[in-house]
Amino acid sequence: MTAVLALSDGRILVYKPRPLDMEAQFARLVCWLSDAGIGPRIDAAPVLARAEDHGWMGFVAHDPCRTQAEMEGYWKKAGGLYCLLTILQATDIHRENIVASGGCPVLVDAETLFQPRPWAMGASSPQDLLRDTMMLPPFGADTASDFSAFCSRAGDATAIRVAGPGGTDAPYRLPACQNLPHLGGRFHGAEEYPDALADGFAWMFRDLVQHRDALSADGGPLRAFATARGRYVARGTQSYGAMLRASLSPAVLRQAGGRRAMLRDRLRATRTDRSPATFAAQELNALARMDIPRLTCRPGDPGPEGHWRAPLQEVCDRLAMLNVDDLPHWLAGMPPLTTAPRRVG
């Protein structure tokens, strides 16, 4: 379980009970980009200490923007970060993984960079990569359940139902925003600043193309990710949660070995191109002990039984083929931004 520790000298530390390889390498990459003057300047959460299976990070506070100019700058940086994470084949960058720290969005959880894409999924289009980051709601800002990094709002109802008093249920409402910048007494989402977001994306895209050889060269900042331990997202957390809830039903619990058998059957019945059979035992064992499975992968390694190509090589090859003339196609592939009312009240 993640824990926050406040020290007597005023410093605040965050303990994470997992490897912080990805976060450490991402912080080095961001520093390299800044030194090279690439894209709008972005920040990374500092990794203070790490061991084989845990580590400590600096706490990133949610601070408001001070001026409208700083707000505009925030969304240009957000566009730059969106571009960078898309090129790095990231996923699961939802509202809890970004903190709006003044005029800069800060990634505080980088374990799902260089996400493997199984061969069976086919070639990745710009639209696929942009959508799969989860940084924008895939069907626009009026999506019923918006957990995206750059559009979601505090207090909005979602399509998820939660149990209430007397056996009733009600829509789950999003908690307080840490992921959106604040100015003038309210939070501001990407749907209000589409031009700034696109400008920042284009800025980073052009600079990455210009510096791609240095980025992906042997000894360069991308190759340093090769052995970093990341997390493979075989299924969504909600899918795992549904399995756990079903396994705790009275009917299942009354049967000897019922929970494990039911979980095994559910995993087999819902196996997808993203969930190699090799990981089945790991998924089952984690669910049996009431944990969400954490499947480890390394960017420099191919998948089990050749299930996917090494993600790092995919990223470097894609970067080598990028052309500035392709930029309009990438911008057109972004999920739509709209201020239409939410469908769930």
- Structural domains of the chain in order of their starting residue, each with its CATH number: 62-232+308-332 (1.10.1070), 237-292 (no CATH)
Residue 342, pLDDT score: 36
Residue 345, pLDDT score: 30
- Count the Cβ atoms, other than its own, within 10 Å of residue 147: 18
Q: Quote the CA–CA distance of 283 and 272 in Å, as a whole number.
A: 13
Residue 340, pLDDT score: 44
Q: Quote the CA–CA distance of 267 and 239 in Å, as a whole number.
A: 10
- With H, G, I as helix, E, B as strand and everything else as coil, classify residue 296: strand
What DSSP assignment string belongs to 155-204? T-EEEEEEE-GGG-EEEEE----SSS-EETTEE--GGG-HHHHHHHHHHH
Bridge partners, residue 101, by sequence: 63, 104
Give pTM, 2 decimals: 0.90
What DSSP assignment string belongs to 97-165? GEEEETTEEEE---TTSS----GGG-PPPHHHHHHHT-SS-TT-TT-SS--BTTT--TT-EEEEEEE-G
Residue 205, pLDDT score: 98
Which of the 8 DSSP states describes residue 16? E
- Count the Cβ atoms, other than its own, within 10 Å of residue 142: 17
Bridge partners, residue 257, by sequence: none
Residue 276, pLDDT score: 77
Bridge partners, residue 295, by sequence: 232
Chain position carrying tokens 């494990």? 260
Q: Quote the CA–CA distance of 30 and 77 in Å, as a whole number.
A: 12
Per-residue pLDDT of the chain (345 residues; tens, 9 = 90+): 788 999 889 889 999 999 999 999 999 999 999 999 999 999 999 999 888 899 999 999 999 999 999 999 999 999 999 999 999 999 999 899 999 999 999 999 999 999 998 887 777 899 999 999 999 987 665 556 678 899 877 666 666 666 555 556 777 777 777 999 999 999 999 999 999 999 999 999 999 999 999 999 999 999 999 999 999 998 877 788 888 988 998 888 988 889 999 999 999 888 776 777 788 889 999 999 998 888 999 999 999 888 899 999 999 999 999 999 999 999 999 988 864 433 333
Residue 182, pLDDT score: 95
